[in-house]
């Protein structure tokens, strides 16, 4: 663990985690996330963020190939975040991979109830297809709730016979039924997320829907003829088992899975690119995976 990561974990544990535990609701959580992103999350030079019809943000940095792309879903527990909060990390992933990235501004639950976010993800896929991108020229990606959304979309597409190039996720939230043992095991070890608020968040997100619905919890989905998937997770996260069990389920269905664990990083740590070297290293690994997946399927 780098000194910068140790310092970040200390800050998150003593400043951010207690504040998250006191957050009054989705609106306050969203406002806090926007403020943090504006003040603290860094972006690479020459970042381009072009808003297009349908709530799609095309984000890139540096020269990009135009014949393949990444469709990226931001995290934030379905109650916070936007392409704007994540454009620094997304821009860095674009710079490292040489790929343009489409980031949908999908509705948060306080704006539209389930399954609105999933439906917006499916529409974003269709818009990318309408622009001329073949399924095997599109890599799905996301962090936290966005990682779960990417995997839910992947399952949906595979079940109807469309096969993306693959998927890469950072700390994906894949089981809103909350059956992972890491919720209890890492209660104190997680420097970022307060486990006592997870049940409340699930209630807000599901709003009466079955938390095992595959559109919410891809851990319970089927993935026929699945392309390669890369999953990044920290061993100290309360959601660690969401990632490790997701990897096991994908492998059991025949997928080639590259599961990468970190011993002590915080949840969705690539958002801290520019502050900790671990974020850059993870984004480099994701960029290499994206290039390999898209290159293999586009030949």
Catalytic center residues: 144
**How far, in whole angstroms, is CA 70 from its chain's centroid?**
12
Strand order in the sheet with 257-262: 47-52, 56-61, 99-104, 65-73, 138-143, 166-170, 229-234, 257-262
Say how far apart CA 299 and CA 296 lie, in whole Å. 6
Cβ atoms of residues 137 and 156 within 8 Å: no
Two structure tokens written together for 119: 């439906």
Q: Is the Cβ–Cβ distance between 173 and 117 less than 8 Å? A: no
For the chain, the maximum distance between any two Cα atoms, rounded to a whole number of angstroms, is 51
Q: Are 141 and 169 in contact (CB under 8 A)?
A: yes
113 in Cβ contact with 298 (< 8 Å): no
Residues 260/285, Cβ–Cβ less than 8 Å: yes
Burial classification of residue 18, based on how many CB atoms lie within 10 Å of its CB (0-12 exposed, 13-18 middle, 19 or more buried): exposed
């Amino acid at each position: 663990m780098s000194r910068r990561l140790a310092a970040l974990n200390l800050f998150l544990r003593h400043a951010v985690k207690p504040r998250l535990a006191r957050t009054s609701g989705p609106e306050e959580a969203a406002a806090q996330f926007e403020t943090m992103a504006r003040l603290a999350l860094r972006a690479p030079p020459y970042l381009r963020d072009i808003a297009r019809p349908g709530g799609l943000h095309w984000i890139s940095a540096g020269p990009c190939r135009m014949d393949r792309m990444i469709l990226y879903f931001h995290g934030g527990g379905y109650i916070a975040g936007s392409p704007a909060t994540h454009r620094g990390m997304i821009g860095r992933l674009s710079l490292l991979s040489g790929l343009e990235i489409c980031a949908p501004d999908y509705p948060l639950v306080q704006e539209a109830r389930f399954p609105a976010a999933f439906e917006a993800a499916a529409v974003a896929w269709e818009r990318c297809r309408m622009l001329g991108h073949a399924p095997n020229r599109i890599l799905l990606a996301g962090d936290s709730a966005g990682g779960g959304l990417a995997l839910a979309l992947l399952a949906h597409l595979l079940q109807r016979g469309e096969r993306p190039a693959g998927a890469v996720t950072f700390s994906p939230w894949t089981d809103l039924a909350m059956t992972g043992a890491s919720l209890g095991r890492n209660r104190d070890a997680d420097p970022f997320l307060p486990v006592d608020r997870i049940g409340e968040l699930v209630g807000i997100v599901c709003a009466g829907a079955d938390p095992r619905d595959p559109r919410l919890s891809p851990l319970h989905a089927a993935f026929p003829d699945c392309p390669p998937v890369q999953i990044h997770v920290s061993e100290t996260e309360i959601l660690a088992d969401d990632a490790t069990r997701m990897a096991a389920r994908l492998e059991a269905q025949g997928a080639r899975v590259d599961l990468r664990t970190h011993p002590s990083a915080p949840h969705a740590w690539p958002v801290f690119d520019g502050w900790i070297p671990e974020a850059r290293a993870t984004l480099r690994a994701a960029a290499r995976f994206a290039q390999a997946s898209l290159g293999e399927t586009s030949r």
